[in-house]
A and B are shown apart, each in its own frame.
Chain A
Amino acid sequence: MPIVKIDDTDFTVEKGTSVLQAALANDIEIPHYCYHPALEIVGSCRMCLVKVEGMPKLQVSCNTFVGDVPSDKKIDGKYDMVVSTQDELVQQEQKNMLEFLLLNHPLDCPVCDQAGECDLQDYAFKYGNAHSRFEEDKRVRPNEYLGSQIVINHNRCILCSRCVRFTREISGSSELFVEARGYNSKISVLEEKPLDNLLAGNVADICPVGALLSTDYIHKNRIWNLDKQPSICQDCSVGCNVDVFHQKDQILRLTPRENHSVNKFFMCDKGRYGFHRFEEIERLTVPMIMSEGGFIETTWDEAIEKTVDELNGAGKGIAGIASPFHTNEANFMLGRLVNGNVGTLPPITSEEINYPSGFRISGDRSPNRHGMNDVCPSIVDDFASAVERKDIRFLYLLDDGIDRELNELWKGMLEKIDFVVVQSYAMTDVSKCADIVLPGQAPFEREGTITNDMGRVQWLRPSVTTKGESRPDWEIPMLIQSKHAGVEGLTDVSSVMNEMGKDFAAYSDITFFRLGDQGLPLNGKAEE
């Protein structure tokens, strides 16, 4: 394999690796804008220029590839390529490039939403000049909407064309194009074909500067005020890896997090903006018990005691409804509580979308159907008719949440059951059918593991604190089960995972530590 020397270090790389890839893979920083690992190489920003020995002028490192050189032609008898990223000429060229890129830039970092995560800002600070020789008037263009959620600030744009390539290569929708040429170039969209596909939000993420902005986040906050929690999107069974940006228990935005086994670099707008629907809900924070006049508040002690009493009275007529919206741990504890006698509600589905790049939005809107089926193996899909056959007197439901609409068949069925416990975070359709409602966690409060539809177990981490007296979703069935069985309860979610591993071999070696931020395939069965 070819050996490339970058600055003073030797690296053995695959033939055909670009100099930039070789450098980035080895933590050598070469500033770049137009290069993005998911997109075609265009070499247009000229920021990644390096000096390559034997070549007459500086080369763009993103588009210069290391090859096999015949042994008699090797440099110093050893190297296939010798690269300098720190040469004086390179440093001067970086300064010059930044001066060009900033010619018409408004230098409005104090009001720019990209500030703090802006490559232009960072590189200008690190590699640029503190001054410009451009004394003429700057070119000023008004902002434009490219689509309903994306606005462009042309003055900040450096025309790297990442966004254009994204719509051509990843979403395949080709809405964006570079209009005109030279000094008049700008990113544009046809009036009758705005940028309104379900992946549109990604262009704001891949924009290396503050040109493309999501209207959902614009002027809301400063990036350095926000906490970033790596987690998993819960809006379909793909399980895209995301970063949840939040402040003071309020979520401000979601961005995709790189995971090459799941979502690569991107996420869809359903998941990206989905968190808003949890903002306005009336969050249930105390246990509620049905009395003659409707629901009244009660304490946890009373609620659990009452539930255990009913459980004791129901004998063998107990069952549970697992939820593909809940973690493996919550479903596992539910299964344990009802002796594996578990059913489920009909799936919530939408159209499955496959993009030419391989990106997928699943038709199954629930994040954890695979995991639920794994830890509740004898699950009954057609539970409504099973109830007719069996004599079920006690039913414990893990509520799917605010997306669930309950049909008449189910409402009628729940009415027939003597005692219905619903664990939920809001007064949903399902909660309203309950005799007792136990307040669990809302989606962004949950912690545990979820398994995506390719069988990859991932660590779902909480971004906001659990509201009021609500308790973790795994803890509530655990408390009831341990009191009912007279055994000692489990203390934390890790011990639930441990127990789960004992019952289900596929989950036996799974811990948060091993899952890390990339997750694990179930027993190597998932596609790696």
Chain B
Amino acid sequence: MSNNGAPKQSFSFADPDKVQNILSQYPDKQSALLPLLHLAQSEEGYISSAVIDTISEIVDCHQALVMDCVSFYTMLYTKPHGRHIIQVCQTLSCSLNGADGLVDHVTAKCGIKPGETTDDNRFTLMKVECLGSCGTAPVVQVNNDYHESLTLEEFEKLLESLK
């Protein structure tokens, strides 16, 4: 479901040229869906229902199709999130190598469960499926960076470094 009943605002891309540039790279409009979503997220922080409306108009498809795509990818957020997004891989290798301990650590330290954001908007914690780095488990992705073979101590240091 989209953005839990928040008041609907309208969204428009900051730079229409960027949108045109993306559209021009694909043979049909719908192919531009993912890059447009990434662009919108970089501007808005998350994919609001207003974003979905705007993009569905640009690529000429129903909102449900856009939502189908948005909900499929964990890197697209449907809710506002904190300054730092901590994504802990929970698939097999990471799980065996203590990913759960990392999640519990954040929960104990910051008082947030997976999917939640701290009150000061500093962290959002997420459990994600395989990050594709099983050889260096456990892996945590913070924003756009991978942190591999983490021990609890290293993880704690990492958290402290994020303001």
Residue positions of A touching B, CB distance < 8 A: 167-168, 173-182, 188-193
- The answer for the CA separation of A342 and B61 in the assembled complex, in Å, is 51
The answer to whether the Cβ of B129 comes within 8 Å of any Cβ in the partner chain is: yes
- The answer for the CA separation of A192 and B67 in the assembled complex, in Å, is 12
- The answer for the CA separation of A50 and B143 in the assembled complex, in Å, is 45
Number of A-B contacts (CB under 8 A): 43
Interface positions of B from 30 to 67, Cβ below 8 Å from A: 49, 61-65, 67
- The answer for the CA separation of A167 and B63 in the assembled complex, in Å, is 13
Min C-beta distance of A191 to chain B, whole Å: 6
- Indicate which residue in A177, A191, A192, A193 contacts B68 across the interface (CB closer than 8 Å): A177
- 27 residue pairs of the A-B complex, CB under 8 angstroms, read A173-B62, A174-B61, A174-B64, A174-B65, A175-B62, A175-B64, A176-B64, A177-B65, A177-B68, A177-B71, A178-B68, A178-B72, A179-B67, A180-B71, A181-B72, A188-B1, A188-B67, A189-B64, A190-B2, A190-B63, A190-B64, A191-B1, A191-B2, A192-B2, A193-B62, A193-B63, A193-B64
The answer to whether the Cβ of B5 comes within 8 Å of any Cβ in the partner chain is: yes
| Interface contacts beyond A179-B68, A180-B71, A191-B5: sample of 12 additional A-B pairs, CB < 8 Å, sorted by A | A174-B61, A174-B65, A177-B65, A177-B68, A178-B72, A179-B67, A182-B129, A188-B1, A190-B2, A190-B64, A193-B63, A193-B64
Min C-beta distance of B91 to chain A, whole Å: 10
User: Closest residue to A184 on the B side, CB-wise?
Assistant: B71
- Indicate which residue in B49, B62, B71 contacts A192 across the interface (CB closer than 8 Å): B49
Min C-beta distance of B137 to chain A, whole Å: 19
Chain A residues closer than 8 Å to B68, beta-carbon distance: 177-179
Chain B residues closer than 8 Å to A177, beta-carbon distance: 64-65, 67-68, 71
Residue positions of B touching A, CB distance < 8 A: 1-2, 5, 49, 61-65, 67-68, 71-72, 129
Interface centre among A176, A180, A182 (most CB of B within 10 A): A180
- The answer for the CA separation of A178 and B72 in the assembled complex, in Å, is 8
- The answer for the CA separation of A179 and B71 in the assembled complex, in Å, is 6
Chain B residues closer than 8 Å to A192, beta-carbon distance: 2, 49
- The answer for the CA separation of A188 and B64 in the assembled complex, in Å, is 9
- The answer for the CA separation of A182 and B73 in the assembled complex, in Å, is 11
Min C-beta distance of B74 to chain A, whole Å: 9
User: Closest residue to B53 on the A side, CB-wise?
Assistant: A192
Interface centre among B49, B62, B63 (most CB of A within 10 A): B62
User: Closest residue to B63 on the A side, CB-wise?
Assistant: A190
Chain A residues closer than 8 Å to B64, beta-carbon distance: 167, 174-177, 189-190, 193
Chain A residues closer than 8 Å to B67, beta-carbon distance: 177, 179, 188, 190
- The answer for the CA separation of A178 and B65 in the assembled complex, in Å, is 9
Min C-beta distance of B87 to chain A, whole Å: 15
Chain A residues closer than 8 Å to B1, beta-carbon distance: 188, 190-191
- The answer for the CA separation of A197 and B5 in the assembled complex, in Å, is 23
Chain B residues closer than 8 Å to A168, beta-carbon distance: 65
- The answer for the CA separation of A111 and B133 in the assembled complex, in Å, is 46
Min C-beta distance of B88 to chain A, whole Å: 16
- The answer for the CA separation of A486 and B67 in the assembled complex, in Å, is 73
- The answer for the CA separation of A182 and B5 in the assembled complex, in Å, is 26
Chain A residues closer than 8 Å to B5, beta-carbon distance: 191
Chain B residues closer than 8 Å to A178, beta-carbon distance: 68, 72
Chain B residues closer than 8 Å to A173, beta-carbon distance: 62
Min C-beta distance of A183 to chain B, whole Å: 9
Chain A residues closer than 8 Å to B65, beta-carbon distance: 168, 174, 177
- The answer for the CA separation of A176 and B61 in the assembled complex, in Å, is 13
Chain A residues closer than 8 Å to B71, beta-carbon distance: 177, 179-181, 188
- The answer for the CA separation of A174 and B65 in the assembled complex, in Å, is 7
Chain A residues closer than 8 Å to B62, beta-carbon distance: 173-175, 193
- The answer for the CA separation of A177 and B62 in the assembled complex, in Å, is 10
Min C-beta distance of B136 to chain A, whole Å: 23
- The answer for the CA separation of A175 and B64 in the assembled complex, in Å, is 6
